[in-house]
Amino acid sequence: MSAVVHGVIALVPDACTSCMICVRECPTWCITVESHAEQVSEPGARRPRTVSVLDRFAIDFGLCMYCGICIDVCPFDALEWAPTIDHSSASRDGLVHDTERLSGWRMHE
Amino acid sequence: MSTGMQTVPREAWHETFAGLVSDGFGYLDLLTAIDRGDEIEVLAQVVNPDGAELMRVSVRLPSDDPSLPTIADLFPAASWHEREVAEMFGVAFAGHPDPRPLLRRTSLGRPPLRTTTVLAARVAMPWPGAADPESAGKGARRRQLPPGVPAEWLSDGPR
Ligand code: SF4
Ligand code: SF4
């Protein structure tokens, strides 16, 4: 675990395989992952491969309790702590932050 | 800091802590519980600030009769922790000075942190983990079920 303060949870969208592990392990059910399947043909491969493509990743920070379980369980290091604390909102719905906002909080490229 | 650990029978719970207090372990660090299935484990950690020593004491209680004498007479700070363990795990602390629920409004209903307690709100709420991208294009696999809800409580409707 990094020494970073527990501010928010940032997403590395390119590393996320939409595997749903974090969604299922999150104790407060506050993560949403939407994805669709695509066929990719690789040179030399006999058949096209089916991959999940991430459409939307959202965390409801009105429910999140900052336990860090999602970060720990992600097999692809697609989630990380970020020191930002500017995710407050005047409305309940505004606490749901999705892909673009979550990935903007990343500390490293 | 040196750390000691011991598991004691329920009958020895109070006298163990009385002995630790006279040995200088005057600071209660934590008191909590873990549901082990057939047993509820209650554990408390005390510190001897002078010798920088830490002692963790644990006791296993049968799940159908989880009772324990209070140690709030030795450590006033144990009072809140015991109230929390009482309402969350259903452990009865005999001789507790103030057995009101600490966080919940009532002690009615099943203790929420026992693994056998059904998390009723989860029955009503759609589970975000139901989607199964792994099996996309491969035919359905075993249906994923939300943790904390018995399968027979779930309707077969869309979730
Ligand atoms: S930190 Fe915990 S509560 Fe928040 S999204 Fe991750 S697993 Fe869920
Ligand atoms: S566990 Fe990691 S890779 Fe899987 S969906 Fe969550 S963030 Fe993406």
Contacts of B127 in chain A (CB under 8 A): 29
pLDDT at B81: 97
Per-residue confidence at B64, pLDDT binned at 50, 70, 90? very high
Q: What residue numbers bound the domain in which A79 lies?
A: 8-104
Place of tokens 């159908």: B64
For all residues of chain B together, what is the average pLDDT? 89
Write down the pTM of the prediction: 0.70
- Whole-angstrom Cα Rg for chain A: 15
β-strand partners of B35: B40
Is pLDDT of B158 > 60?
Answer: no
Which of B113, B119, B127, B134 best probes binding to A when mutated, by most A CB atoms within 10 angstroms? B134
Q: How far is CA B95 from CA A5, B5, B61, B79, in A?
A: 42, 26, 17, 11
Do residues B91 and B149 share a domain? no
Average pLDDT over residues B93-113: 89
Give the number of C-alpha atoms closer than 13 A to the C-alpha of residue B120, restricted to the C-beta side.
4
A32 in B contact zone (CB under 8 Å): yes
**Residues framing ligand 2 (Cβ under 6 A):** A 16-22, 33, 74, 76, 78-79
For all residues of chain A together, what is the average pLDDT? 91
Per-residue confidence at B159, pLDDT binned at 50, 70, 90? very low
Query: Would A109 be classed as within a structural domain?
Result: no
Give the number of C-alpha atoms closer than 13 A to the C-alpha of residue B22, restricted to the C-beta side.
5
Closest CA–CA distance from residue B90 to any residue of chain A (Å)? 21
Do residues B132 and B95 share a domain? no
pLDDT in tens, A12-46: 999 999 999 999 999 999 999 999 999 988 888 88
H/E stretch holding A25 reads helix A21-25
pLDDT in tens, A52-61: 999 999 999 9
pLDDT at B69: 98
Do residues B95 and B145 share a domain? no
CATH of the domain at B6: 3.30.460.80
* Ligand 1 midpoint to CA A63 (Å): 8
CA A109 to chain centre: 15
pLDDT at B156: 57
pLDDT at A108: 65
Distance CA B106, CA B15 (A): 31
Q: Which residue, by CA, sits nearest to atom 5 of ligand 1?
A: A64
pLDDT at B110: 87
H/E stretch holding B21 reads helix B13-22
Whether the CB-CB separation of B39 and B61 falls below 8 Å is answered with: yes
Assigned token pair, B54: 């830490």
Amino acid at A69: I
Is pLDDT of B142 > 90?
Answer: no
H/E stretch holding B83 reads helix B78-89
pLDDT at A72: 97
CATH of the domain at A99: 3.30.70.3270
Q: What residue numbers bound the domain in which B129 lies?
A: 118-159
Q: How far is CA A106 from CA A31, A47, A74, A101, B126, in A?
A: 18, 36, 16, 10, 30
pLDDT in tens, B7-59: 999 999 999 999 999 999 999 999 999 999 999 999 999 999 998 899 999 99
Query: Would B113 be classed as within a structural domain?
Result: no
Amino acid at A11: L
DSSP secondary structure letter of residue A48: P
pLDDT at B136: 57
* Ligand 1 midpoint to CA B57 (Å): 31
Per-residue confidence at A4, pLDDT binned at 50, 70, 90? low
Cα–Cα nearest to B58, from B74, B41, B78, B75: B41
Query: Would A92 be classed as within a structural domain?
Result: yes
pLDDT at B40: 98
Assigned token pair, B110: 């099943």
**A85-96 burial, b for 16+ CB within 10 Å, e for fewer?**
eebeeeeeeebb
Cα–Cα nearest to A59, from A34, A85, A30, A20: A30
pLDDT in tens, A50-106: 889 999 999 999 999 999 999 999 999 999 999 888 899 999 999 999 999 999 998
Reported ipTM? 0.76
